[in-house]
Amino acid sequence: MLQAYFESLKYVGHLLPISFLRIFLGYFYIQQAVKDWKIHVIGNSMVSDLLVEALNKTQMPFWYRFFLTEHLMSHWPFYAFVLVGIQVIIGFSYLIGYVVRPASILGLLLCLNYLAVASSSQEFFFKLMIACHVLLAWVGAGRCLGLDYYFYKRYRGIWW
């Protein structure tokens, strides 16, 4: 597996710059997960500022506002745990280059969700993140400097 990890440089070396972007994003998500774990999961269940701000947005579909107020806010510790879990999944996946394509889809969905609640000043950031996730999924960024190359060689398929 380790041999395949470095061998990928030889065969899909053109993806190397994108791999650096993938690894950076992985680090970013892990860092975010650690922060959110401390604040939202074990830190007395502080509701995310982003959600509080979102409820003040006038343009939001009724069903989404209902979901935020009736479910997410009232069961925030559970949802915070799930959100941190998703961040860890994306973070580790990107760092080691394992199951990058499905993880990118997960990241895309997470960012779409954030886009719905984000203020106008944060929208640009989440749009940029969506572009990154789409790019990583499109090129299969785990195949260079990642474990996906090893599994792709053995199993083929669109998930690597």
Stretch that binds another protein, among 4-12, 14-22, 36-44, 59-67 (CB under 8 A): 36-44
Q: What is the residue type of 144? A: C
Q: Does 81 bind another protein (CB under 8 A)?
A: yes
Query: Which residue among 7, 20, 46, 78 contacts another protein (CB under 8 A)?
Result: 46
DSSP state of 48: P
Dihedral sign for Cα atoms in the order 26, 28, 31, 37? negative
DSSP letter (8 states) at residue 97: T
In this structure, are residues 112 and 104 in contact, taking their beta carbons and an 8 Å threshold?
no
34 in contact with another protein (CB under 8 A): no
Contact with another protein (CB under 8 A): which of 11, 31, 55, 131? 55
4 interacts with another protein by CB under 8 A: no
By beta-carbon proximity to another protein, the closer residue of 13 and 37 is: 37
Residues 6+ apart with CB under 8 A from 16: 9, 144, 145
Exactly one of 92, 95, 135, 153 binds another protein (CB under 8 A); which one? Answer: 92
Shortest separation between residue 157's beta carbon and another protein, angstroms: 9
* Shortest distance in whole angstroms from residue 151 CB to another protein: 7
Supply the DSSP string of 18-65, one letter for each residue.
HHHHHHHHHHHHHHHHHHHIIIIISSTTPPPHHHHHHHT-S---HHHH
**Which residues are near another protein by CB under 8 A?**
41-47, 49, 52-53, 55-56, 73, 81, 84-85, 88-89, 92-93, 98-99, 102-103, 151, 159
